[in-house]
Amino acid sequence: MGAFEGKTAVVTGASTGIGLATARRFVDEGAHVFITGRRRPELENAAAALGPSATPIVGDIAESADLDRLYAAVRERGRGLDVLFANAGNATFAPLAQATEDDYERNLNVNVRGTWLTIQKALPLFNTRAAVVVNASVRATDGLENFGLYSASKAAVRSLAQTWANELKDSGIRVNTVSPGAIDTPALERIIGAEAAVAFKTDSAKQVPIGRLGTPEEVASAVAFLASDEASFIYGTNLYIDGGELQF
């Protein structure tokens, strides 16, 4: 029997990368997973790959109405919500002198407001001993140039999650965060282009003590642990998944 047998999970940003790998882990461990993402073709492909234990709901976490549709589908299934992986996010990169108000809105509106709405709107659905895992980033604290707005948004997410862990503990809802480091996902190609992504990944791997990028599946394993009953005494923590990048 899997760790999530008979449970219901929601994974945002589940079309590719970390979100898809985590949704697959939950399905393999027995959960029914509601997956959401903004791009319909990719989301439908993900659902087809995951099989009948996945329900796709197209939507943007920064849009309140889209989240309402997602949680209406969860409510209609009638089994509540046991696990929420708030993974969806956005990234635009620019130095202070060149960043625009639009860059600010894209980073903060999705990563902070969208994550806040994702958790807030899920509250009425949570079953006893539910678990929330929020995707932050090692970039929240390392001061990497050009990452200012993105890093600030992820620092805000980590702060919010710690507060939520305290606020929700008496309801039996556990909240924790994961902070992935340099992970090999398709997102970077979409953001900066394929050629630039190859160079960026090569340079990033050199900064990782173990000498390589992480995989979405390695992040998914950490998320699955924090979401499982094996982590029942873990509240408000932040787990680095970075190959030692910020540890040495």
Altogether, the residues listed in the chain come to a count of 248
Q: Is residue 2 part of a domain?
A: no
Q: Is residue 246 part of a domain?
A: no
Q: Is residue 171 part of a domain?
A: yes
d(CA 187, CA 126): 30
Q: Is residue 56 part of a domain?
A: yes
Do the beta carbons of residue 35 and residue 50 sit within 8 Å? yes
d(CA 234, CA 247): 20
Q: What does each C-alpha distance from 135 to 34, 41, 55, 223, 239 come to in angstroms?
A: 17, 23, 21, 9, 10
> Does residue 71 carry a catalytic annotation?
no
Q: What average pLDDT does the segment 129-156 reach?
A: 92
Q: How confident is the model at residue 215 (pLDDT cuts 50, 70, 90)?
A: very high
165-186 confidence digits (pLDDT tens): 999 999 999 999 999 999 998 8
Pairing of strands 81-86, 54-58: unpaired
CATH number at residue 110: 3.40.50.720
- Name 98's Cβ contacts closer than 8 Å, sequence gap at least 6: none
d(CA 14, CA 238): 21
Task: Compute the half-sphere exposure of residue 233: CA atoms within 13 Å on the CB side of its CA.
Answer: 0
pLDDT of residue 50: 98
Q: Per the structure, how many domains does the chain have?
A: 1
Q: Is residue 1 part of a domain?
A: no
- φ and ψ at 101, to 5 degrees? -60, -35
> How big is the CA angle at 50 (ends 117 and 116), to the nearest 5 degrees?
10
Q: Is residue 229 part of a domain?
A: yes
Q: Is residue 247 part of a domain?
A: no
d(CA 226, CA 224): 6
Q: How confident is the model at residue 55 (pLDDT cuts 50, 70, 90)?
A: very high
Instruction: Please tell me which residue in 71, 104, 150, 235 is annotated as part of the active site.
Output: 150
Q: What average pLDDT does the segment 28-49 reach?
A: 97
- pLDDT surpasses 80 at 29: yes
d(CA 19, CA 86): 9
* Domain carrying residue 137: 8-240
pLDDT of residue 40: 96
Tokens 């699955």 appear where?
224
59-107 confidence digits (pLDDT tens): 999 999 999 999 999 999 999 999 999 999 998 889 999 999 999 999 9
Q: Is residue 3 part of a domain?
A: no
pLDDT of residue 60: 97
- pLDDT surpasses 90 at 1: no
Q: What pTM does this model have?
A: 0.95
Token pair listed for 37: 């993402």
pLDDT of residue 143: 81
- pLDDT surpasses 90 at 248: no
